[in-house]
Structure formats: structure tokens, C-alpha cells
């Protein structure tokens, strides 16, 4: 039996991202399941690496009930981050380079060592050099931001860009810190780090486990985005976005036309 055309699907998704052109869902048409979708994701990222980008970390997706409900998917997933996705804190991004960008507040970890697979949350805290408030910009390549689980996995979990605020030591109470997402100075979303699998450190544990299934291990110095603490909000031209995480500070992003 011939499986899905991994390279062909990755190329379609890559061109959609490069040209900011939405495409239809692919999984039903191509017979893509979750495992095959991660193979597509690998090929999609390799396409970026072949043009000079570097892997700088991993990200989790759908780690909160709010995000699962928003997109109609109910399984935690992971994707990859490259250096060209990173935007400086306080920097600006051209929204015309994306199809239907959305922003969400997150918690980021900076890895000091490689955590072992299955290492308990309480033990691998010393693997994290620092923690920071973050903003992730997501942009599904599918029309109407609608997809199945294999579709979004193949699309590198809708990864598009990210901002990291100032790094600081991991504070006490990380499992329940208040989170705000502000758009143009007004609160758009309110949440807690508890929405990230009950504790953002659990997201790191899940990331190690899930990526490990596909032969991917986290590296020292990588960034790890633990997942959104609230539902995502559409990013419009001219908007100013700020994520505020209690005890951690803020990260901000401007959107140009």
C-alpha cells in the first residue's frame, strides 16, 4: 500500500506559508494520519533548513482547554521553531506576510541541559536555565483556520513567529501565575499558567515524551514554548500586543500593515 506523499504535502504547505495563501485541508484527501503528519512536519522544516534557517527550539500546541475548544482538536501536539521565526521583544512584524495571524500569551523556557525522557517535573527544574513571558503568533495555512489533528501537525502546529520577553529564574508558584493578553492597551484575554496542562513544566515533560517518539530530543540552549494560557486573538494591522505574566514581566509585539 502506498502511503501519503510526504514531500508533496510538505511542499504544498511550504508554498502556502511562503505566499500567504490559504489552502484546503489535506488529511482527508491524502489519507494522512498523525504519525505520517509528523513525517510531513519534518519534511516541511527540512525545507526551511535547506534554505539556511536553524532549529532553535520546540513548541507545544493545544495545551489548554480554551485552545482545544477554539480549534476543535483534543490532543496535545508539538512543533519546531527556527531562528527566522523569532521577533525581538518590542519589535514589529508585517501582518501581510501571514494568512490569518493570531496571537496568544505563553511561557517560554530556556534549556540549560537536556532533560531525560520521563524525568519527573520536580527533578528536571534544574534543566531549565530561565523562564520568560512570551507571545506566539500562529497562522494556520488552512482556509478559515479549520483543520483536523493530522492537518495541524503537518502544518508544524500553525507556528509562524514568536517573541520572548526578559529571562529570569524560575519563580515559585509557576503552576498558577496570572496571565493577561492586551491589545492596544486593553485586556483581550485573561488566564493563568495553570491552563497550560495544570503546570507549564508538564508541557515540557510532554514535549520531551512526544518529540522523543519521533526521534527528536531537546538540546541545550533551545527555547521551549510551553503553550498558550488563553485562546488566541486575531492580529490586525497597526495593533500593539502585550503579554503579561505575573512574576515574569511582559513581552510585546507591534503589527505593521
- For 112-177, list the strands marked E by DSSP: 128-138, 159-164
Kindly state the average pLDDT of the residues 175-197.
96
Q: What angle do CA 53, 231, 220 make, to 5 degrees?
A: 35
Supply the pLDDT for residue 76. 86
Please give the backbone phi and psi of residue 113, each rounded to the nearest 5 degrees, phi first. Answer: -150, 170
Q: What is the pLDDT of residues 20-74, one digit of tens each?
A: 999 999 998 898 999 999 999 999 999 999 999 999 999 999 876 665 666 566 6
Specify the higher pLDDT residue, 212 or 120.
Answer: 212
Report pTM.
0.92
CA atoms within 13 A on the CB side of 110: 14
Q: What is the pLDDT of residues 133-179, one digit of tens each?
A: 999 999 999 999 999 999 999 999 999 999 999 999 999 899 999 99
- Map residue 93 onto helix, strand or coil: strand
**What confidence category does residue 1 fall into, taking pLDDT thresholds of 50, 70 and 90?**
very low
Please give the backbone phi and psi of residue 186, each rounded to the nearest 5 degrees, phi first. Answer: -110, 140
Supply the pLDDT for residue 86. 98
DSSP 82: E
Amino acid at each position: 500500500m502506498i502511503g501519503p506523499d510526504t514531500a508533496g504535502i510538505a511542499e504544498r504547505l511550504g508554498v502556502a506559508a511562503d505566499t500567504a495563501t490559504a489552502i484546503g485541508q489535506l488529511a482527508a484527501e491524502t489519507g494522512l494520519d498523525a504519525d505520517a503528519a509528523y513525517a510531513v512536519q519534518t519534511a516541511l522544516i527540512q525545507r526551511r533548513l535547506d534554505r539556511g534557517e536553524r532549529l532553535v527550539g520546540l513548541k507545544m500546541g493545544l495545551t489548554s482547554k480554551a485552545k482545544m475548544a477554539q480549534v476543535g482538536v483534543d490532543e496535545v501536539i508539538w512543533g519546531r521553531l527556527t531562528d527566522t521565526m523569532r521577533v525581538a521583544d518590542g519589535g514589529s512584524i508585517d501582518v501581510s506576510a501571514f494568512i490569518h495571524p493570531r496571537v496568544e500569551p505563553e511561557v517560554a523556557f530556556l534549556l540549560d541541559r537536556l532533560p531525560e525522557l520521563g524525568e519527573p517535573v520536580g527533578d528536571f527544574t534544574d534543566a531549565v536555565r530561565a523562564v520568560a513571558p512570551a507571545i506566539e503568533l500562529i497562522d494556520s495555512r488552512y482556509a478559515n483556520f479549520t483543520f483536523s489533528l493530522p492537518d495541524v501537525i503537518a502544518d508544524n502546529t500553525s507556528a509562524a513567529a514568536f517573541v520572548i520577553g526578559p529571562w529570569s529564574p524560575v519563580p515559585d508558584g509557576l503552576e498558577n501565575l496570572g496571565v493577561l493578553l492586551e491589545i492596544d492597551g486593553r485586556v483581550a484575554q485573561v488566564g493563568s499558567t495553570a491552563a497550560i496542562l495544570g503546570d507549564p513544566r508538564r508541557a515540557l515533560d510532554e514535549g520531551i515524551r512526544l518529540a522523543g517518539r519521533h526521534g527528536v530530543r531537546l538540546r541545550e540552549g533551545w527555547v521551549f514554548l510551553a503553550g498558550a494560557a488563553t485562546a488566541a486573538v486575531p492580529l490586525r494591522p497597526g495593533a500593539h500586543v502585550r503579554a503579561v505574566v505575573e512574576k515574569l514581566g511582559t513581552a510585546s509585539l507591534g503589527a505593521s500593515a
